[in-house]
């Protein structure tokens, strides 16, 4: 396939999970790809595994670094056509355990970075360009224990709508891919014990009509669809990929 032949693509948070899967699929379909990541070791490993990519260090919490990475990606590739804003963070907390530090950190990664990375990218994107944002079903539902995380993802979803309206006159589309539970390393970063993680996994899988977690490739595919010309008349929407969890009774 060559849907993205010679397209210039930036994937933030491209070192593992959904971002890595998307970068690999963009490459397979002919794109030139730049990935970003906050951890130098994982960034080097991803660069080696993917092959012909540009790998740039940038922490989504640092607006200056992320903006510089966008500009550098455009410089190295000779422009930008597609941006997949995938970088994100997840830590769960309830009304009793949430604190300001957690709120500020998750909001910085999951919402502020979306706005300012999109702002930087919009300076380079041509008519026909596309931005895809990785949101979450937690932004659509009131799941106990995800108080802060869900709020940041809801903020990201609203940014998608507003950015879509602002960039539509320039012919730039903005959409969201909203994953349900996915088998990615992010679950290991929730600050929970292996036993707690196993309990959460079993509980969630029982509620998902398809009966399992999704895979990174099962999110990368819909994300690439939204970035492609196949979705040329779609903007401002959120495509939910959650095994039926939020819309089907199990």
Query: Can you tell me the distance from the alpha carbon of 135 to that of 103, in angstroms, rounded to the nearest whole number?
Result: 17
Predicted confidence at residue 206, as pLDDT, reads 87
Q: How confident is residue 205, by pLDDT bands cut at 50, 70 and 90?
A: confident
Active-site position among 149, 173, 178, 179: 149
**pTM, 2 dp:** 0.93
Predicted confidence at residue 17, as pLDDT, reads 96
**For residue 14, pLDDT beyond 90:** yes
Predicted confidence at residue 203, as pLDDT, reads 80
Residue 149 appears among annotated catalytic residues: yes
* Cβ(138)–Cβ(242) below 8 Å: no
Query: Can you tell me the distance from the alpha carbon of 23 to that of 14, in angstroms, rounded to the nearest whole number?
Result: 7
């Amino acid at each position: 396939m060559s849907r993205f032949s010679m397209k210039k693509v930036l994937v933030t948070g491209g070192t593992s999970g959904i971002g890595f899967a998307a970068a690999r699929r963009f490459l397979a379909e002919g794109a030139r790809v730049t990935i970003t990541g906050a951890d130098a070791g994982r960034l080097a490993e991803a660069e080696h595994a993917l092959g012909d990519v540009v790998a740039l260090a940038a922490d989504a919490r640092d607006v200056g670094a992320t903006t510089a990475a966008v500009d550098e990606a455009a410089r190295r590739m000779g422009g930008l056509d597609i941006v997949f804003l995938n970088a994100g963070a997840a830590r769960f907390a309830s009304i009793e355990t949430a604190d300001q530090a957690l709120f500020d950190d998750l909001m910085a990664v999951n919402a502020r970075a979306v706005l300012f990375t999109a702002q930087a990218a919009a300076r380079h994107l041509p008519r026909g360009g596309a931005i895809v944002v990785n949101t979450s079903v937690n932004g659509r539902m009131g799941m106990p224990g995800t108080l802060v995380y869900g709020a940041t993802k809801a903020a990201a979803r609203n940014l998608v709508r507003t950015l879509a309206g602002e960039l539509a006159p320039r012919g730039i589309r903005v959409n969201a891919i909203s994953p349900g539970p996915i088998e990615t390393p992010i679950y290991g970063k929730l600050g929970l014990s292996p036993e707690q993680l196993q309990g959460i996994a079993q509980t969630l899988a029982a509620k998902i009509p398809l009966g399992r977690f999704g895979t990174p490739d099962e999110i990368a595919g819909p994300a690439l669809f939204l970035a492609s010309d196949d979705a040329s008349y779609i903007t401002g929407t959120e495509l939910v990929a959650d095994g039926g969890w939020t819309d089907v009774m199990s």
